[in-house]
Amino acid sequence: MQKKIAVVNDIAGYGRCAMTVMLPILSYMGVQGCPLPTSIFSNNTAFPSFFMDDYTDRMEAYIENWGKIGLKFDGIATGYLGSLRQIDIVKQFIRDFSKEDTLVIVDPVMGDHGRLYSAYTVELCKELGKLVALADIITPNLTEACYLTDIPYKEQGWKRKELYAMAENLASMGPARVVITGIPQGEFIANFVYVKVSDTEVRSGLIRIHKAGAERCGTGDVFASIIAADAVRGVPFDRSVRKASGFVKKCITASIELETPPNDGVPFEEILYRLKRD
């Protein structure tokens, strides 16, 4: 049967991020994406103004009806969660709607470049750590990994043993598969992969790719979508990380070639045919 992933994220009407990136990529990769919205935005928040409708008060009724029709999922993928209540709702959702083999993929969206996003507090970070404990796979960027592990952030100079220790710390919270993304290394961007195969066996490694240009809105959502789709389809984790990294680079390159404004995200639609499904 076709795999199903519940996608817990916000919806932006314009600006290619969150749900509007994740659903088409999941669909292209042969996975049914089932949206559970956390909020509705007219456009992404990189623009100087936006309309936002907080969906928190309606999430539980929405989820309740999924329960009435007997839904279960092969995967549950979470993105930005902006309040303690949303995190609590999502934790309960994971407990109620997981099968024995359901994979939980958490992108702990909290900040970037060493700083938390404006809505995030230390208390929210701690609660997100409890959500991480329910995950099988997490995809934090370097900033988020540092906040989750209480390790001081630095932009450059990360050694493999430091990244290993950080990933090991994250895995000890619950997830067996960890990828720390967006690690600057000169002309490269690196992702550190950690897979806990068993209590006695760990696979880890650094996957590097040449920088293609400036960062853009939505690239983390592109990355997380590929990781989630591959996970429920049984693709090895390190292969999936390589695929996701390479496709994000192609998306950024296409943005430059098409002169896409930075706030518009990446024109992944133009090159989706270049994304491998296996």
Map out the domains of the chain as residue ranges.
4-274
| Amino acid at site 43 | N
Strand intervals (E) in the chain = 4-12, 32-41, 52-54, 73-78, 98-106, 111-112, 115-116, 137-138, 177-185, 188-196, 202-210
Q: What percentage of the chain has pLDDT greater than the value 70?
A: 100
Q: Identify which of 166, 159, 165, 148 has the alpha carbon closest to the alpha carbon of residue 190.
A: 159
How sure is the predictor about 215, in pLDDT bands with cuts at 50, 70 and 90? confident
pLDDT at 199: 87
Confidence label for 275 from pLDDT (cuts 50, 70 and 90): very high
pLDDT-above-90 percentage for the chain:
90
Instruction: Name the average pLDDT for the chain.
Output: 95
CA dihedral 155, 156, 161, 162 (to 10 degrees): -20
Q: Please state the pTM of the whole predicted model.
A: 0.95
Q: Which residues pair with 34 in a beta bridge?
A: 6
CB-hemisphere CA count at 13 Å for 223?
28
Give ∠ CA 158-166-223 in degrees, rounded to 5: 85
**Residue 174: CB partners within 8 Å, gap ≥ 6?**
132, 133, 134, 135
Predicted pLDDT at 29: 97
Q: Determine the Cα angle at 106 with ends 77 and 135, to 5°.
A: 105
Contact 257/249 with Cβ under 8 angstroms?
A: no
Topology of domain 4-274, CATH:
UDP-N-acetylmuramoyl-L-alanine:D-glutamate ligase (3.40.1190)
pLDDT at 24 over 90: yes
Handedness of CA 180, 185, 189, 193 (dihedral sign): negative
**What pLDDT is attached to residue 276?**
84
